[in-house]
Amino acid sequence: MPVLSKESRITKTKALKPSEFIPTLCAALERELARLNEYNDKEEFPWDSVKALAPLGAWGMLFPKKYGGLGLGHVEYTKALEEFGRIDSSLALTAESHNSLCGSTILRFGNEEQRKKYLPKMARGMMGAWALTEPEAGSDAKSLKTKAELKNDSWVLNGSKTFTTQGSVAGVYVIFASTTPGAEGRGISAFVAEPGPGLTIGKTEKKMGLRASDTAQLHLVDLKLPKENLLGDLNRGFPIAMQILEAGRVAISGVSIGMARGAIEWTLKETMRRGGDEARGRSLRKRWAGENPGLTATQKIIAQHTAKLHAVRMLTHYAAQLIDEGKPFSFYASLAKLLSGELAMQAATEMLDILGDEARFMDNHVTKLFRDAKLYQIGEGTSEIQAMLIYRHLSSNLDLLLKP
């Protein structure tokens, strides 16, 4: 497709009620599936699909209506991300990172001028990117090397970022940099930036999965930002990043749930299309003689993963409800992130076993979900990090074993 300017991709948003949004979104995503698969095959960012979903409000789900958003609560937002994950996990990651990471940082920690400047454009489809990860600072974000120095009332940033989602297509960036050398987590600040001199796009990653999700390196060489582009308080960037990631874990769990649901749904439809259960020869229990095979391996696998799906969804919605109520939620966010990421990978893997020979084809929907699922055990805090955080919570409060 022809390369469009970022401004030309911005579209006005319809005034949908929250109760109307999810079914409308679901129908729109179904219509976009074939086109999204083409973008996935070509490893291109799906600008056409972004533009198609912009009038519904998909790019401003969490933003208040006064900034052009839908003003959804986190429960409804998580449900919407499940629909994204079921259809296309590349576009789901775009929606989640755009809303939960870049957008939420500006919304929660930006000043009113910054919110008015960026959020309405983001709600209409201008992409946002969140640049924290560096080649030597992944899970250990305190050790980032990018520096920001205040010179003549301007911030000057130098360093590199890696694995930046929407890195090469964004119209606005949230960038984290060290403003007090040697202070680690106590000396990091957040900045808002736009494409321009000093911000160069490096390598765009070619990935096993999430092939239509843009992932790029950023090189900052004397990137000059106005003094007022500081987001939040000076040297408070690390707590800002951790708060944003905590809520992001709940959101990205919605995507993982959608992926697991999609894998189960597509596999179940295929086994039914074949005329029932082809796994009769693998029956685990025969209760009756004759035609009835009893409980088969296929039935058991699908039933077990469906039970896990419902349990993890309830946990994730509980964590989202706590966010909406302004109550502590970080323990449940880590539980949801750990279990949902593992479920997405396990469900996709075992559904491929059921599909058998069909699993070897690249255009199989479950095969695509399988390739994509690994990221959801890694992004916004790996499964290992979540396990560590869960243990820390429990070691200081054993009552958490009794709740909710």
Q: What DSSP line would sit under 152-184, residue for residue? A: TTEEEEEEEEEEEETTTT-SEEEEEEESSTT-G
β-partners of residue 190 are 176, 231
- The Cα 323–Cα 307 span in angstroms is 25
What element of type H or E holds 200?
Answer: strand 199-204
Catalytic residues, by residue number, are: 380
Whole-model pTM: value is 0.90
pLDDT per position as a tens digit, 176-220: 999 998 887 789 999 999 999 999 999 999 999 999 999 999 999
Q: Which residues contact 112 (CB under 8 A, 6 or more apart)?
A: none
Residue with tokens 């995503």: 29
Give the homologous superfamily in CATH for domain 130-235: Butyryl-CoA Dehydrogenase, subunit A, domain 2 (2.40.110.10)
pLDDT tens, 47-58? Answer: 999 999 999 999
What integer is the mean pLDDT of 387-404?
92
Q: Are both 130-235 and 239-284+293-402 of the same fold?
A: no
Q: Domain residue spans in the chain? A: 7-127, 130-235, 239-284+293-402
- Smallest CA-to-CA distance from 316 within 2, 9, 10, 82 is with 82
> Which tops the pLDDT comparison, 245 or 294?
245
- For residue range 221-230, list pLDDT tens digits in order: 999 999 999 9
Axis crossing angle, helix 330-355 with helix 383-396, rounded to the nearest 10: 140
Q: Is the pLDDT of residue 163 over 50?
A: yes
What pLDDT is recorded for position 363?
77
Name the architecture of domain 7-127.
Answer: Orthogonal Bundle (1.10)
What is the β-pairing status of strands 230-231 and 215-226? unpaired
Would you say domain 239-284+293-402 falls under CATH 1.20.140.10? yes
Residue with the bigger pLDDT between 271 and 179: it is 179
